[in-house]
Structure 1
Amino acid sequence: MAATGACFVTGGCWSVFRRDMKSATGGLRTNPISVSTRPSTMSSEQALAPRVEEKEGIEKTISKRFEDMEVSEVERRSLQDYFQQSKDLSRSDGGPPRWFSPLECGTRLENSPLLLFLPGIDGVGLGLSMHHHRLGQIFDIWCLHIPVMDRTPFTELVKLVERTVRSENFHSPNKPIYLVGESLGGCLALAVAARNPDIDLALILANPATSFGKSPLQPLIPLFDVMPDQLNLGVPYVLSLMTGDPLRMVMTTAEKGLPLQQTVGEISEGLGALSAYLSVLSDILPQETFLWRLKMLSSASAYVNSRLHAVKAEILILSSGKDHFLSSQEEAERLCHVLPKCKIRKFANSGHFLFLEDGIDLVTIIKGVNFYRRAKYHDYVSDYIPLVPSEFRQATEEYRWLTIATSPVMLSTMEDGKIVRGLAGIPSEGPVLFVGYHMLLGLELAPMVLQFLAERNILLRGIAHPMMFNRLRSGILPELSTFDTFRVFGAVPVSGSYFYKLMSSKSHILLYPGGMREALHRKGEEYKLFWPESSEFIRMAARFGAKIVPFGVVGEDDIGQVVIDYDDLMKIPYFRAQIKDLTNESVILRTESSGDVANQDVHLPGVLPKIPGRFYYFFGKPIETEGRKHELRDKEKAHELYLHAKSEVESCIAYLKERRKGDPYRNLFPRLFYQATHGFTTEVPTFDL
């Protein structure tokens, strides 16, 4: 097996709450924190409705078919919803800290792990309200609520959370427990992890307050201590952290260029919302509570920093670039150097309350980092969470200009051998194995994967190079976050076991036998296959009766030309040393192979861009392996079929190279003129079939 080449080079290429006590809990079902008491998560209507059987598995529980997902994707909640729910919850604020479970969470997956949300300075516990629906499909969610007038010290909060963690670990010792903490909650999560290194914990920390000593509010604590309660300057400050700049909400509306009457209406509505936000924040964070929480942050930061050496948990840190409360990005780097199993994702334009911002989707982030698991280790197949329409739209927008510039033409072959435009000839039922040519820099990947989803609702699960998933050491390779989109779309690292699992799950699998050597080819090697001598995938395909679809892609010579290749770079000492360093940062594949395909050195060739031409894809007639399992155990028979598949790929490439000569819209300018006259959403014609 091989990886999907060196795609890293291109970077981007790719609620309702129900009340138990209607007059008290403000839309929540709550319980005091206790080892023996668990939050109730089911409303009376839910109790009467039949539940989806958990054994149906991840694919059936979350998603039926891609085109049906729009129906199930609910409208995202807003900051206004957060404030309204916070107002309801703060109406009855007596009692100790307690857990509650959001009732709008959907039916969970089988064996879903527990997620404990630990709030920030507001203490409400609704910081994930914009994410409850999607998170509730893959987690059992409990949120910690710290009442406004509660004065439980930080160390006691740590013990309360710790008791819950130990109790749930006792009930389900083979499942991880997720601790999601923002700001103060991040300190809580780290403290619990330091005290429980033997429990399987996965921490997601959003702007953790371990750097509170550097916060601009730290020296102002004495001033707040003597300030009259009536001023309560903490409220507008916290509001500015949640909205960036409160006036920005109004100014953004004025800059939209809407009709005057509509602009005035929206500005009035925005000013009214700001006034309401200030009122709610005054209830959530009165001056005395705000001061208490600031002092707690100070003690929490000192407590955790003295115990970081004891933290053994798996950690994902989400850091904001415009956090005016904490030096979050610097702190994330510091923590990552101290903590052994730590990953960072950066959000340059986000503020302190990351989870309350539009455009932030925690489930998508978790998927991109491969941070979701239901057992001790992450499984790229059984733990994969299917796409939702918003993720598809985001990827489509990300690669929009590549698609416009290359205007892909896709051809497929029907069972009777007829060639048609589009993907009608692609088998609907898996397992199906796609084997083909890996274009320069892997540029063909994004348009192909997106078109399969858009036209046929088929997700191609790519078998990819390990450098897209982990590194042996840090260095000059692109950050792993560069490949988050690929992981969201189901890429798995090259592995015999994962190939087997994808086959057994009847997936549509994308495999490039030429791997990195093909995607980083030399000058004059375009459209040349670099397949191994051994028939790597044939017997596995025959074992499951998979259809093998050979395909070819051309067009790289229409968008760029290699002018400096691997051989040129190796002649220069500086670049030779750089190539060695790059290669040593990642796992090296095919060390046992010989010949060209064994050269997996990582490098970036020099490419001279051209005025964009067009990409052409041709999927040949599927090769059947059903019923040939015993026949193809014979090495000679398997190798014969392997060579046949390779020959079919070469035939597809040759067909495209010849037929594209007759395409009047092969060049960019005729295509743009056609779209200008027929509409930019119109499909541009190509050569006659």
Structure 2
Amino acid sequence: MTSARHTTEIMNHPARVEALRGPVNVLTRAIEPLIDLYRPYVDGLENLPRDGRFLLVGNHTQSSVEGPLIPHYVRREIGTRVRPLTERMMANFPRPVGDLLAAYGAVVGSREGTREMMRHNETILVFPGGGREISKFKGEEYTLQWQGRSGFALLCVENDYPIVPVALVGGDDVYSNLLSRGNPLANLTMSLSEKIFGRGDMTPAILHGIGPTLIPRPQRMYLRFAEPIDTTKPAAVSTEKWIATVKDRTQRSLEAAISELLQLRRDDPYRELNPLAWRNALEPGSPAPTSA
């Protein structure tokens, strides 16, 4: 459970963390030209509520590039800092690492902490699948691994907080897992994960990039911010049913956005960052190239 002290520090960082916010902001702005260089496909920015009071719900990929990419575009579009919710293990990180993440805006995911940020109308980012969505097995690319998690929906209903689903495609193709679920070696890694980390759902993946190496495959990233989901409960609907409805609507919206981005990427000649196809890169609002 989150301590009262930790909940207070979410909005009032210790002096050592505040001292790092300036350098972290400089660093994040310094990498903007590098992000632009790879020309990510980004659409739906007009769906972001201008007041910054909303919860972003995204899908995790094996590359985890969505972690910095989503806050980057939200900050650029509406000027607000995004507060990503992280796994509880962040609380055990060595102070320099933990302080840097806190200065960036990251917060250990908890209901108490999220409620505190919602009281202050923060822009929050959550990946309901958590770590299990990062370490996917072969054939599970771009699938949501929520395992019934609906805490984000409960908190949004409690606080009338809008939800903006945000999908990323590209991150699960930088690396591939050699193992399929049910493979004996996969079962062994799950058993080891359970013994070492206390959870078998965050399985260390056996990855490869280009060929058998760990050199990442060049992949263009495709990001879509879907239409906001109103979480205000109708008077005639029970709270439990409405929470389930909000969770289901969010999941269906996110899955639809992922599917649409996969289709867009299929016809994009720049999908593997081929410099020769730079001028023909698919852009929002332009017709998709005709397949040969």
TM exceeding 0.5: yes
Q: Check whether the contact 2:63–2:172 (CA below 8 A) recurs between aligned residues.
A: no
The one-letter code sitting in structure 2 at the alignment partner of 1:600 is D
Q: Check whether the contact 2:52–2:80 (CA below 8 A) recurs between aligned residues.
A: no
Residue-by-residue CA offset, 1:229-276 (whole Å, 9 max, x unaligned): xxxxxxxxxxxxxxxxxxxxxxxxxxxxxxxxxxxxxxxxxxxxxxxx
Q: Please say if 1:532 is aligned against 2:147.
A: yes
1:579 to 176, 193, 196: 193
Alignment of 1:284-299 (within 5 A): none
* Secondary structure class of the residue paired with 1:523: coil
Cα distance in 2 for partners of 1:396, 1:644 equals 34
Cα distance in 1 for partners of 2:30, 2:266 equals 30
| Relative contact order, higher structure (CA 8 A, sep 6+) | 2
1:553 to 165, 168, 172: 168
Q: Check whether the contact 1:562–1:608 (CA below 8 A) recurs between aligned residues.
A: no
* Secondary structure class of the residue paired with 2:136: coil
1:500 to 115, 125, 134: 115
| 1:533–1:578 CA distance, 2 compared to 1 (3 A) | closer
Shift of 1:516: 1.2
Q: Which residue of 2 aligns with 1:394?
A: 27
Q: Which residue of 1 aligns with 2:269?
A: 664
| 1:555–1:576 CA distance, 2 compared to 1 (3 A) | closer
Alignment of 1:28-107 (within 5 A): none
Residue-by-residue CA offset, 1:490-532 (whole Å, 9 max, x unaligned): 1111211011111111111111111111111111101111123
Shift of 1:641: 2.4
The one-letter code sitting in structure 2 at the alignment partner of 1:392 is N
2:217 to 611, 614, 635: 611
Q: Which residue of 1 aligns with 2:213?
A: none
Q: Which residue of 1 aligns with 2:90?
A: 468
Cα distance in 2 for partners of 1:492, 1:467 equals 11
| 1:669–1:492 CA distance, 2 compared to 1 (3 A) | same
2:41 to 409, 422, 425: 409
2:106 to 476, 488, 491: 491
Cα distance in 2 for partners of 1:649, 1:386 equals 37
1:600 to 186, 201, 204: 201
1:641 to 221, 246, 249: 246
Q: Check whether the contact 1:614–1:668 (CA below 8 A) recurs between aligned residues.
A: yes
2:11 to 366, 382, 388: 382
Q: Which residue of 1 aligns with 2:57?
A: 435
Shift of 1:391: 2.2
Shift of 1:685: 5.4
Cα distance in 1 for partners of 2:237, 2:100 equals 36
Residue-by-residue CA offset, 1:570-620 (whole Å, 9 max, x unaligned): 555xx6775345414xxx6xxxxxxxxxx4335243232453121111111
Cα distance in 1 for partners of 2:246, 2:31 equals 38
Q: Check whether the contact 2:165–2:250 (CA below 8 A) recurs between aligned residues.
A: yes
Q: Check whether the contact 1:469–1:480 (CA below 8 A) recurs between aligned residues.
A: no
| 1:641–1:576 CA distance, 2 compared to 1 (3 A) | closer
* Secondary structure class of the residue paired with 1:622: coil
Residue-by-residue CA offset, 1:199-257 (whole Å, 9 max, x unaligned): xxxxxxxxxxxxxxxxxxxxxxxxxxxxxxxxxxxxxxxxxxxxxxxxxxxxxxxxxxx
| 1:580–1:669 CA distance, 2 compared to 1 (3 A) | same
Q: Which residue of 2 aligns with 1:686?
A: 283
The one-letter code sitting in structure 2 at the alignment partner of 1:611 is R
Q: Which residue of 1 aligns with 2:128?
A: 513
| 1:480–1:530 CA distance, 2 compared to 1 (3 A) | farther
* Secondary structure class of the residue paired with 2:49: coil
Shift of 1:431: 2.6
Residue-by-residue CA offset, 1:66-121 (whole Å, 9 max, x unaligned): xxxxxxxxxxxxxxxxxxxxxxxxxxxxxxxxxxxxxxxxxxxxxxxxxxxxxxxx
| 1:644–1:436 CA distance, 2 compared to 1 (3 A) | same
Q: Check whether the contact 1:582–1:603 (CA below 8 A) recurs between aligned residues.
A: no
Q: Which residue of 1 aligns with 2:290?
A: none
Q: Which residue of 2 aligns with 1:324?
A: none
Q: How many residues align?
A: 273
Alignment of 1:135-174 (within 5 A): none
Residue-by-residue CA offset, 1:120-141 (whole Å, 9 max, x unaligned): xxxxxxxxxxxxxxxxxxxxxx
Alignment of 1:451-466 (within 5 A): 451-466=73-88
Percent identity, aligned pairs only?
A: 23
Q: Please say if 1:543 is aligned against 2:152.
A: no
Cα distance in 2 for partners of 1:427, 1:644 equals 18
Q: Please say if 1:449 is aligned against 2:90.
A: no
The one-letter code sitting in structure 2 at the alignment partner of 1:607 is H
Q: Check whether the contact 2:56–2:164 (CA below 8 A) recurs between aligned residues.
A: yes
Q: Which residue of 2 aligns with 1:53?
A: none
Alignment of 1:188-203 (within 5 A): none
* Secondary structure class of the residue paired with 2:56: strand
The one-letter code sitting in structure 1 at the alignment partner of 2:78 is R
The one-letter code sitting in structure 2 at the alignment partner of 1:407 is R
2:231 to 613, 625, 634: 625
Cα distance in 2 for partners of 1:400, 1:608 equals 25
Q: Check whether the contact 2:52–2:78 (CA below 8 A) recurs between aligned residues.
A: no
* Secondary structure class of the residue paired with 2:10: coil
Q: Which runs of 5+ in 2 are unaligned?
A: 211-215, 288-292
- Length-normalised TM-score, structure 1: 0.36
Q: Which runs of 5+ in 1 are unaligned?
A: 1-374, 413-422, 472-478, 589-598, 676-683
Which shows bigger deviation, 439-448 or 545-554?
439-448
What is the RMSD of the two structures over their aligned residues, measured on CA atoms?
3.3
Cα distance in 1 for partners of 2:135, 2:100 equals 21
| 1:388–1:576 CA distance, 2 compared to 1 (3 A) | closer
* Secondary structure class of the residue paired with 2:178: strand
